[in-house]
C-alpha cells in the first residue's frame, strides 16, 4: 500500500507551485522555511516512495546548501501522512560526483508496503 499523499492533496498546499509531470515523477517549486525556494521531485519508484528537494539558489542570499531539519519536517507534512516513517539516506560520493549537483539534494525514502526495520538486516538475528 502506498502512503505518499495523493497528487491532489499535495498540490493543495500553497507552498508548491509550477507543478510538472515528468512520468513517472513530478516536479515543482516549493517554499521551505530555511532554504527558501527549492526544486522538489517526488515519485514512486522501485518499491519506494521518494521525495527530493534542493535549494534553487544556494548562492549569496541562501546560507543553506541543503534543506534543514525544519525543512525536512515541512516536506514530511506535505508529502507523507502523520503516522508515516520515512528515512533520509545519503549516497556514496562516487554515485553523485557526475550528477550535476546531486550533493545539494535532500532525499526522503519510504518503502512501499513495508516498514524500514522489516528490510534492514539486524545484527545478531
Q: In this structure, is residue 23 part of a structural domain? A: yes
Q: In this structure, is residue 51 part of a structural domain? A: yes
* pLDDT digit string, tens, across residues 14-50: 999 999 998 889 999 999 998 888 999 999 888 888 8
Q: In this structure, is residue 125 part of a structural domain? A: no
Q: In this structure, is residue 111 part of a structural domain? A: yes
Q: 45 lies in which domain range? A: 7-119
Q: In this structure, is residue 21 part of a structural domain? A: yes
Q: In this structure, is residue 124 part of a structural domain? A: no
Whole-prediction pTM value?
A: 0.76
What is the domain count for the chain?
1
CATH number of the domain encompassing residue 62: 3.40.1720
Q: In this structure, is residue 1 part of a structural domain? A: no
Contacts of 55 (CB under 8 A, 6+ apart): 35, 36, 37, 38, 62, 64, 65, 66, 67, 104
C-alpha grid cell for residue 105?
539534494
More confident residue, 29 or 112: 29
Q: In this structure, is residue 2 part of a structural domain? A: no
Mean pLDDT, rounded, for 99-111:
68
* pLDDT digit string, tens, across residues 59-83: 545 566 678 888 888 998 999 877 6
Amino acid at each position: 500500500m502506498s502512503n505518499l499523499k495523493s497528487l491532489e492533496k499535495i498540490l493543495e498546499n500553497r507552498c508548491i507551485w509550477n507543478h510538472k509531470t515528468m512520468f513517472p515523477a513530478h516536479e515543482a517549486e516549493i517554499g521551505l522555511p530555511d532554504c527558501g525556494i527549492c526544486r522538489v521531485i517526488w515519485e514512486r519508484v522501485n518499491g519506494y516512495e521518494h521525495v527530493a528537494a534542493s535549494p534553487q539558489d544556494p548562492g549569496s542570499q541562501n546560507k543553506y546548501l541543503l534543506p534543514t531539519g525544519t525543512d525536512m519536517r515541512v516536506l514530511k507534512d506535505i508529502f507523507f501522512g502523520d503516522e508515516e516513517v520515512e528515512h533520509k539516506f545519503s549516497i556514496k560520493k562516487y554515485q553523485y560526483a557526475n550528477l550535476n549537483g546531486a550533493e545539494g539534494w535532500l532525499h526522503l525514502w519510504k518503502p512501499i508496503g513495508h516498514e524500514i526495520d522489516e528490510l534492514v538486516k539486524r545484527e545478531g538475528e
